[in-house]
Amino acid sequence: MSDAAVLLPYQIRWSQDLAQVKLWEKSRRIGASYGEAADDVLHASASTGGGDVYYISYNQDMTATYIADCAAWAKRFDAALGAIGESVFKADNGKDIHVFNIQFASGHHIQAFSNNPRNLRSKGRPGDRVVVDEAAFVDDLDELLKAALAVTMWGGQVRILSTHNGAESPFNRLLQDVRAGRFDYALHRTTLDDALADGLYRRICQVTGQVWSPAAETAWRAQLIRRYRPNHEEELFCVPSMGGGAYLPRVLVESCMPEEADSGPLLRYAGDARFNAQPERVRAGIVADWLCTTVEPLLASLDPTRRHVAGMDFARSGDTTAIVLLEIGATLQRTWRALIELHNVPFAQQRQILHHCLTRLPRFQGAALDAGGNGAQIAEETAEAFGRTRIQCVSFTEALYRDQFPRYKAALEDRTLTLIRHDDVLEDHRAVVLVRGIPRLPAGKTDARGERHGDSAIAGLLAMLAADADPPDINQIQTGGARETAGLGLDAAAPAIAAIGWGTVPSGTHFGD
């Protein structure tokens, strides 16, 4: 019998993911352990391609429940069971360690025990699997994973499932490292709403004999949230409880700022009432002069052999528009070559400045632009002008902050990102804090003068997003048909060229605009 007949889509997606190491960030009571038990039975009962399963949780009740689920799945799958037993031995600290065991006719077994890391030593034959359930609550997760990951040497698997237990827990730090790209582990995330969308409450009604309806599901969800308050965000929606302090420490940010002589510049342009009242053509002329005298020398100094990208955090008047021009070095070092800030500058001139820079960036790869609110207009116009394969129009969401800020922080920690040296840049980065367990900027101004809102930090984040994107494909169109050399400016004595498809031209031939 297929597990697809009884499991929900998110449980099936987890089972079908064959990554050697995978993590599941999950809501409570959505059946994650139950689905894992189904897959573990199939794995242990397989006569070929299977292996032993070692299940670890933080208390005895969970291990007993897991073994009961495994036994039920074995009967459902008609798997050939051997003995089911329990044994007890003393740990070094004098505590009783309960070990539950299911033996299969395949010769493999499922063994469930406490989270003592020593229990995994010597485990790790080909095909073995380690499952760490509610990993955020086990004792010394770091040591436990150190022992568990040894099974991957011979092709084994490690599966880590948990709800959250605070922003500073080893489990959440592991998630941040995975999102930062430090580990190539697979990552799954299922909130209560994700589970409901995949039919969780329908299945509850089916099992309990209730009649499902949209209204009943809405009422059930609301009641569940009330029951879990004030911890509902962490327990049900995968938001670790709040930490404190700056997300990017001062010493970390300063360590990625070069000496003043080696730092890129901060270039600023501010509009005033008189400037903004001028006709657009007059404003365009004034800005063109500023670009020529201030920005053009910088652009001319950039390395023409290196790829460049840009990130732009838009503001019209209240905050500051920040544009980071970033170079991707030969060693893939990311370096801010300049920060351009615009305050109270009309839309047309912001577009003028941005397009001027993008047009002249050497080996321009792409840009990521703030497309929220008023920024949507410039982002859309830029995507049309430079191509949607190169311009990312970014809307700021909780998921974006959750997934991208850990990568940004990792680049700072690994010293693969170089900023410019300026106090405002430091303060912008220091303004990023954990809000509901997710790094982001808080509401309101973030500087002592009441003029900024972490602007350059967001522009830097967007520039890194552009740098990490795959370079766009070159669209090639086969024309077909023969080509004539007449009218192309070739010397009359040159050999005639007739080609099909891409065609052939003599070396050094130049076609004018």
Tell the residue number behind the tokens 């007449």, with chain if given: 486
- Provide the pLDDT for residue 469: 93
Mean pLDDT of 325-332: 97
DSSP 294: I
Compute the Cα dihedral for 221, 60, 112, 239 and give only its sign.
positive
Q: From CA 463, how far away is CA 461, in angstroms rounded?
A: 5
The lowest-confidence range among 71-85, 193-207, 380-394 is 71-85
> Treating both helix axes as pointing N-terminal to C-terminal, what angle do 214-228 and 200-208 enclose, rounded to 10 degrees?
100
The 10 Å Cβ neighbour count of residue 379 is: 24
The lowest-confidence range among 169-178, 379-388, 500-509 is 500-509
Mean pLDDT of 103-125: 77
Instruction: Select the more confidently predicted residue: 129 or 450.
Output: 129
Number of residues that this document lists for the chain? 513
Q: How many CA atoms lie within 13 A of 213 on its CB side?
A: 4
DSSP strand pairing (321-328 vs 307-313)? antiparallel
* pLDDT reading at 307 higher than 50: yes
* pLDDT reading at 100 higher than 90: no
- Provide the pLDDT for residue 54: 94
* pLDDT reading at 389 higher than 60: yes
Going by pLDDT thresholds of 50, 70 and 90, the confidence category of residue 251 is: confident
CB of 44 closer than 8 Å to CB of 108:
yes
Write down the mean pLDDT value for the chain.
86
Mean pLDDT of 316-326: 90
Fold held by 3-237: Rossmann fold (3.40.50)
Quote the strand ranges of 191-320, DSSP E.
266-270, 307-313
Mean pLDDT of 66-87: 79
Residues 250-468, CATH architecture: 2-Layer Sandwich (3.30)
Query: How confident is the model over 452-497, as pLDDT tens digits?
Result: 888 999 999 999 999 999 866 544 444 444 444 444 344 445 444 4
Mean pLDDT of 29-37: 96
Q: Which amino acid is at 248?
A: L
Domain boundaries, the chain: 3-237, 250-468, 478-513
Instruction: Select the more confidently predicted residue: 335 or 479.
Output: 335
- Provide the pLDDT for residue 422: 95
Going by pLDDT thresholds of 50, 70 and 90, the confidence category of residue 95 is: low
Going by pLDDT thresholds of 50, 70 and 90, the confidence category of residue 313 is: very high
Query: How confident is the model over 138-169, as pLDDT tens digits?
Result: 888 988 898 889 889 988 999 999 999 888 78
* pLDDT reading at 197 higher than 70: yes
pTM over 0.85: no
* pLDDT reading at 412 higher than 60: yes
Going by pLDDT thresholds of 50, 70 and 90, the confidence category of residue 98 is: low
Instruction: Select the more confidently predicted residue: 79 or 219.
Output: 219
Domains 3-237 and 250-468 fall in the same CATH topology: no
Tell the residue number behind the tokens 């207009």, with chain if given: 377
- Provide the pLDDT for residue 154: 87
- Provide the pLDDT for residue 5: 56
- Provide the pLDDT for residue 140: 84
345 sits in the region (left: phi over 0; alpha: psi -120 to 50; else beta) called: beta
- Provide the pLDDT for residue 435: 78
* pLDDT reading at 223 higher than 50: yes
The lowest-confidence range among 62-66, 67-71, 228-232 is 228-232
- Provide the pLDDT for residue 391: 97
Residue from 305, 321, 395, 403 nearest 354 by CA = 321
Q: How many CA atoms lie within 13 A of 260 on its CB side?
A: 2
Instruction: Select the more confidently predicted residue: 252 or 500.
Output: 252
Burial of 213 (0-12, 13-18, 19+ CB in 10 A): exposed
Query: How confident is the model over 38-48, as pLDDT tens digits?
Result: 999 999 999 88
